[in-house]
Amino acid sequence: MTNADFWKQIDMIISGGFTSEGLQILDYYAELFINRKLVYKRFSPFEQHGCATGGATHVVASLLAAAKARSDSGATPYGDDFKREVKCGSQQAECIEQWARCIGCWTDCVDKTLSQTLGEQIAEGGEAKVYDHGATLVKTIGLDYFVQPILALDRISLHNAYFPETRLTVLGFGRTIEGEFKIVVEQPFVEGKHVEEKKIDDYMQRMGFELTNPRNWTYASPDIYLSDMHDENVLQTVDGTVVVVDCDIRINVPALKSGGTRAFSTDIEMINALMH
């Protein structure tokens, strides 16, 4: 199966309204993705593993978002046509919603529902709300920083690749009462103390990142753009391990103006897999 044939089949599954057969094919492709028989060239092998550890729900949503991003390749993230980017983001969200409703991982009025089922909301950031779930935290991640769901899903993949101690697992999706699209994730609860900026800087340098903008705690390598690395998002556990619990992490494309050399891709390659 060629790259073009693969995406044509995904488009047919979407346009067909996610029939039972179409859902089975998506599950099969998620299995191939997780077992690295479907290579997604948007990511390095290391980063694809990060996407896979977010769970099959995360993998399928990432592929559906990519299908819609491909259909409007002019809506380039960080480009000049913001209205077109917003429209493309809405199409990605609507596609994921239709699929999520079919498989039962969609929640209407998601913030109200989580506060009733999980209890106390313990934190709120620029694009996420955090709920106490005992040994884990449940978060709702919005599109405020990303516009397009594909970028928010990338963020989860990259976080899992670079910071596996605080892996994000995608539970499902929903909208708020105001209609804002949300990704619902679960993350281990980490008990620790805040880390001083010098220690964060040393930690990031050991990982191969350089500080590029102290005002918003931004670090970068040619591959990855990483910001919000301040002392509320980085903790040190009782055994001295530094862990990143939250950050804004992205594929570092030149448009981010942080020395990035990457390009967005939605190409796939099949490796020794039987096709449907």
110 and 174 in contact (C-beta within 8 Å)? yes
Q: Is 73 helix (H, G, I), strand (E, B) or coil?
A: coil
Mean pLDDT, residues 76-82: 81
127: number of Cβ within 10 Å: 20
Domain locations in the chain? Answer: 3-190+263-270, 193-256
Q: For residue 199, which of 235, 151, 238 has the smallest C-alpha distance? A: 235
pLDDT per position as a tens digit, 33-54: 999 999 999 999 999 999 999 9
DSSP 85-119: HHHHHHHHHHHHHHHHHHHT-EETTHHHHHHHHT-
pLDDT at 274: 58
C-alpha pair distances (Å), 38 with each of 28, 32, 44, 80, 136: 10, 5, 13, 33, 31
Question: Residue with structure tokens 């913001």?
Answer: 82
CA 45, CA 67: separation in Å to the nearest integer? 20
pLDDT at 273: 60
Residues 6+ apart with CB under 8 A from 213: 227, 258
Is the pTM value of this prediction over 0.75?
yes
CA 33, CA 29: separation in Å to the nearest integer? 6
Percent of the chain with pLDDT over 70: 98
**What letter would DSSP give residue 256?**
G
pLDDT per position as a tens digit, 126-172: 678 888 888 889 999 999 889 999 999 999 999 999 999 999 999 99
Structure tokens at 6: 């693969």
122: number of Cβ within 10 Å: 13
C-alpha pair distances (Å), 165 with each of 1, 98, 108, 219, 234: 36, 32, 30, 20, 12
